[in-house]
Amino acid sequence: MPERTTPAHRGLLAPAVAAALVGLLAAGCGGTADAPADGAAATGDATPEAASDAFPLGEVTGATAPDGHKLREIPADSAPTVELTAEPDPVDGWNLHIAAEGYEFAPEQAGKEAAGGEGHAHLYIDGEKYARVYGQWFHLPAEAIGDGEHTVMVTLNANDHTTWAVDGEAIQAETDVSGSEAAQGHGDHGDHEEHGG
């Protein structure tokens, strides 16, 4: 028959159970309450309080980005950075890589309230908005670009679509692409239509 725990035994077990739970939690998290686990800063696993200090919401100004969304001004020392590269895709168009430092893509938050250090990107071709981008990679089809040279640009945008900015300038990156570089359906996968794939 199992042993019953009496109120006197419960009084002795509670501190032991609490101590064991604290030990397990500390071991599972890899750190203490005062020191974050190794790699927390590198992966962006900051507490909400720390995130709001590091990434302020800034102030929405009267100035606008090319698509009409207002700029959200933040201090330069807490602003994310972004770089854009375009590599010709072997099948069609280009593969764009948006390398954003100090920034987290949050597609599930699009259209909601702004939060510091997160959002999505807006993609422009020759100054005209083409698409929203919810991650680091985006395939730009050849049909989106005509012949000749064209400028592709991305801006970093808050969840509410305001454009993150520093000193009145949108946080953005751009690169040039040439219509003649687009593969337009050639390569190893060019016969997919023939096979229904």
DSSP 89-151: -SSSSEEEEEEEES-EE-GGGTTS---TTEEEEEEEETTEEEEEE-SSEEEE-GGGS-SSEEE
What's the Rg (C-alpha) of the chain?
25
Percent pLDDT > 90 in the chain is: 55
β-strand partners of 122: 132, 155
Q: What is the mean pLDDT of residues 77-97?
A: 95
pLDDT averaged over the chain? Answer: 74
Give the pLDDT confidence score for residue 185 in this predicted structure. Answer: 52
Closest to 85 in 3D by CA, of 136, 129, 124, 35: 136
**Is pLDDT above 60 for 88?**
yes
**Is pLDDT above 60 for 156?**
yes
Closest to 172 in 3D by CA, of 81, 53, 85, 107: 81
Q: Tens of pLDDT along 105-136?
A: 999 999 999 999 999 999 999 999 999 999 99
Give the pLDDT confidence score for residue 180 in this predicted structure. Answer: 74
List the single range of 7-11, 41-45, 86-90 with lowest mean pLDDT. 41-45
DSSP state of 160: T
Task: Give the HSE-up count for residue 32: Cα atoms under 13 Å, Cβ half-sphere.
Answer: 2
Q: Is 156:171 a contact under the CB 8 Å cutoff?
A: yes
Residue predicted with more confidence, 10 or 64:
64
Give the pLDDT confidence score for residue 67 in this predicted structure. Answer: 83
Give the pLDDT confidence score for residue 60 in this predicted structure. Answer: 94
Give the pLDDT confidence score for residue 65 in this predicted structure. Answer: 87
What CA–CA distance (Å, rounded) separates 50 from 101?
Answer: 17
Percent pLDDT > 70 in the chain is: 63
List the single range of 42-51, 69-78, 118-127 with lowest mean pLDDT. 42-51
Q: Tens of pLDDT along 180-197?
A: 766 655 444 444 443 333
Q: Is 173:84 a contact under the CB 8 Å cutoff?
A: yes
Q: What is the mean pLDDT of residues 159-170?
A: 96
Give the pLDDT confidence score for residue 121 in this predicted structure. Answer: 97
